[in-house]
Amino acid sequence: MDSSVKPGPVVAIVGAGPAGFYVAEALLQSLPDAQVHMFERTAAPHGLVRYGVAPDHQKLKQVAAVFEGIASNERFSLYAGVDIGRDLGLSELRARSHAVVLTTGAALGRPLGVPGESLPQVFSSAAFVGWYNGHADHAGLRPDLTADSAVIVGNGNVALDVCRLMVRAFDDLAASDIPQPMLATFRQRGIREVHMLGRGAPGAVKFTFKEFRQLADLPNVRIRLPQAADFTPAMWEQAASPDAQRVLQWLRAEQERPVDAADDRLTVNLWFNVAPTAFVGEQTLQEVRVRSTGGEAFAIPAGIAVTCVGYACRPIADAPGYDAAGAMRHRAGQVLAEDGREEAGLFVAGWAKRGPTGIIGTNRACGYETAATLVAALPALINAAPTLASDFGTLLDARGIVRLGHAHWQRLDAHEKERGATLGKPREKLLSLDEALHVLSTVPAVATESAS
């Protein structure tokens, strides 16, 4: 090999969710000599697709096949089970790369800031959704679903997901990819009534009509509006979006149907212009106190509550902070310091860039924008070459850090699908790095593999 030939650019991506993979896709396409190294702190890639998409939305999870195609590129390396900030410092990563892209998402639930929020049986959506999707951070959550009444704070799509899973027929849940320990909890479910609390007016709902119909069309569920008698004509007409208008039309038509006293379906109550003021209970949650915008106060008995009011980013040591909206300061993906200066070689994509908004597909345009900004900056970054060798595998091995490459993930993926098939479901997820390592040590490899 000609030693005078400079190696191609080295780019490190922190986070193996949709944003990270779309950045990788763009870079591999536009930089034919680039080496892309992706780091993921959990044992499995795919981020939001694996841990955020509802278990009964299997079609949305099919995008993982796109990510697998990206990961199969010979210039791509995966390092799963590696926590940047703990196992390898961000400053170390930057010293060994021409550029680093942060695509770490928004993994923390935003607090409401009301009394009693830390009571047992009060969960953030980040924790509850992470739990039923088998995320290692939340697999030990142990919620109790035996209560007959639940409260969900928020009226976006995440709130609808949580509500739908609380009332969906058990056989439907059993055919999803909810892990068996979580499914056992749902089997004990006693919930007969769910209350969804929205701060805004009926016409300001954040969820889409498509998502709403997935809940409303469940044969074992009825939707009720406890405040319907107080709705003014304007409240039925004023909508903030076409989706909200369609929801209002559906609700209005439903309200005109005669009520059957013998209807024993599970009830979902939609409340508007209300906000929780306290979660109350002695040892565990017993009720949620609520106040309307008109000043009326009342209490809703509940044995479990989930707050679906947004997400926040997990801080990374040595990384710039986030703005008030929960996003990293940037210019088209180029990270900026607090004073507006560019952080040379540091970029951002996904929820860490935009805040927790958008759907999975939104990350593609977002990731491509960041990649284009990075490529434009590359000439200057290449001139300031990495000061240390970019052999991440050797470095992690020397520290005794376990790292799972794409070939390892392919084995784990096949194992999960095989376990799922025996249970009549798409997959049975492994719930921790230790479980993944156990499988890799006991299940024979089909072919020779490497850590990359």
C-alpha 205/C-alpha 202 separation (Å) is 6
Query: Residue 307 pLDDT > 80, yes or no?
Result: yes
Q: What is the pLDDT of residues 339-377, one digit of tens each?
A: 889 999 999 999 999 988 888 889 999 999 999 999 999
Query: What average pLDDT does the chain have?
Result: 92
Q: What is the pLDDT of residues 407-421, one digit of tens each?
A: 999 999 999 999 999
- Dihedral, CA of residue 153, residue 155, residue 157 and residue 158, to nearest 10: -10
For CATH 3.40.50.720, the residue range(s) in the chain are: 10-107+313-442
Phi-psi region of 416 (alpha: psi -120 to 50; beta: other; left: phi over 0): alpha
For CATH 3.50.50.60, the residue range(s) in the chain are: 108-311
Query: Residue 5 pLDDT > 80, yes or no?
Result: no
Q: What is the pLDDT of residues 95-112, one digit of tens each?
A: 999 999 999 998 889 999
With both helix axes pointing from N to C terminus, report the angle between 433-442 and 406-423 in degrees, rounded to the nearest 10.
Answer: 90
C-alpha 253/C-alpha 250 separation (Å) is 5
Tokens of 115: 């009394």
Rg (CA), the chain: 24
In the chain, the amino acid numbered 12 is A
Q: What is the pLDDT of residues 378-403, one digit of tens each?
A: 999 998 877 777 899 999 999 999 99
C-alpha 347/C-alpha 138 separation (Å) is 29
Model pLDDT, residue 326: 75
C-alpha 356/C-alpha 211 separation (Å) is 18
Percent above pLDDT 70 for the chain: 97
Cβ contact 126:311 at 8 Å: yes
Query: Residue 259 pLDDT > 60, yes or no?
Result: yes
Instruction: Please state the pTM of the whole predicted model.
Output: 0.93
| CATH hierarchy code of domain 108-311 | 3.50.50.60
Query: Residue 123 pLDDT > 90, yes or no?
Result: yes
Q: Is it true that domain 10-107+313-442 has CATH number 2.60.120.10?
A: no
The CA distances from residue 28 to 31, 33, 195, 371, 372, in Å, are 5, 8, 47, 10, 12
Bridge partners, residue 342, by sequence: 336
